């Protein structure tokens, strides 16, 4: 029994490490995009992102997160807030999650979920609707990295061996944002399974994003571009 408990605690510890790595990965991506825009001041204080995203309670549909969003918006009347969430892995408690599952078109589905989250946040925070921009990325951030497979495979010398396989995955779908939603077929799993050394979110993700660049991502990924257009329009 003691050995079984030890194994359980090891699994729990490993799970928390993975969560921590993922949170760092998202922070790196947010800050990269932030630095590439002309309106970096609109993204708020970098430390605020670190403090909030680093907290395990920071799910956009949790009361804890909503309180922090409300406090930050009320503290500074000039800031605007945006989300950047992966469609894959959203919790079933997410606003309108069950209703959205019947929507086959991925773009219509994420728009439905973004609108539901926006309504909930605005109702809770009690601010003007334009102060919160909700964005959900189909299906994962890693989908954006398929915008340029040449650049993706340039990060590690041995990754060139997987170029043809990854390019075929990209060519099989309408856009990188259509690389799909299953555990075995989500974009990050495809990278992890096909790249050696193994793809790591926190180290390789930001490096690939820098090599691919926002311009290429926006050319390939319509939903991501629409979000960037909204950010730029704030200026």
Dist. CA 211–CA 71, nearest whole Å: 36
Whether residue 84 contacts residue 137, with contact meaning beta carbons closer than 8 Å, is answered with yes
pLDDT band (50, 70, 90) for residue 234? confident
* HSE-up of residue 140 (Cα within 13 Å, Cβ side): 22
pLDDT band (50, 70, 90) for residue 58? very low
87-91, 117-121, 180-184, 187-191: which range is least confident on average?
180-184
Q: Is the pLDDT score of 19 beyond 60? A: no
Q: Give the long-range contacts of residues 102-108, CB within 8 A, separation 24 or more.
A: 106/138, 106/139, 106/177, 106/178, 107/138, 107/177, 107/222, 107/223
Whether residue 195 contacts residue 152, with contact meaning beta carbons closer than 8 Å, is answered with no
Whether residue 150 contacts residue 91, with contact meaning beta carbons closer than 8 Å, is answered with no
Whether residue 188 contacts residue 208, with contact meaning beta carbons closer than 8 Å, is answered with no
Whether residue 209 contacts residue 29, with contact meaning beta carbons closer than 8 Å, is answered with yes
Give tens-digit pLDDT for 67-83.
888 888 999 888 899 99
Give tens-digit pLDDT for 94-119.
999 999 999 999 999 999 999 999 99
């Amino acid at each position: 029994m003691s050995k079984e408990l030890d194994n359980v605690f090891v699994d729990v510890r490993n799970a928390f490490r993975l969560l921590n790595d993922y949170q760092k990965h998202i922070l790196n991506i947010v800050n990269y995009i932030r630095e590439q825009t002309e309106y970096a001041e609109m993204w708020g204080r970098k430390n605020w992102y670190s403090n909030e995203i680093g907290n395990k309670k920071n799910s956009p549909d949790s009361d804890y997160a909503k309180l922090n969003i409300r406090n930050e918006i009320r503290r500074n009347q000039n800031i605007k807030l945006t989300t950047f969430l992966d469609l894959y892995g959203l919790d079933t408690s997410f606003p309108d999650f069950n209703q959205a599952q019947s929507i086959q078109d991925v773009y219509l589905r994420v728009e439905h979920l973004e609108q539901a989250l926006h309504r909930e946040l605005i109702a809770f925070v009690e601010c003007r609707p334009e102060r919160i921009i909700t964005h959900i990325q189909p299906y994962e951030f890693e989908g954006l990295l398929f915008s340029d497979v040449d650049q993706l495979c340039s990060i590690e010398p041995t990754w060139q061996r997987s170029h043809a396989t990854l390019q075929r995955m990209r060519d099989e779908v309408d856009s990188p944002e259509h690389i799909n939603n299953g555990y075995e077929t989500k974009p990050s799993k495809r990278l992890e399974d096909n790249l050696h050394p193994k793809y790591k979110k926190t180290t390789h993700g930001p490096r690939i994003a820098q090599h691919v660049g926002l311009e290429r991502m926006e050319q390939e990924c319509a939903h991501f571009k629409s979000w960037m257009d909204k950010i730029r329009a704030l200026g």
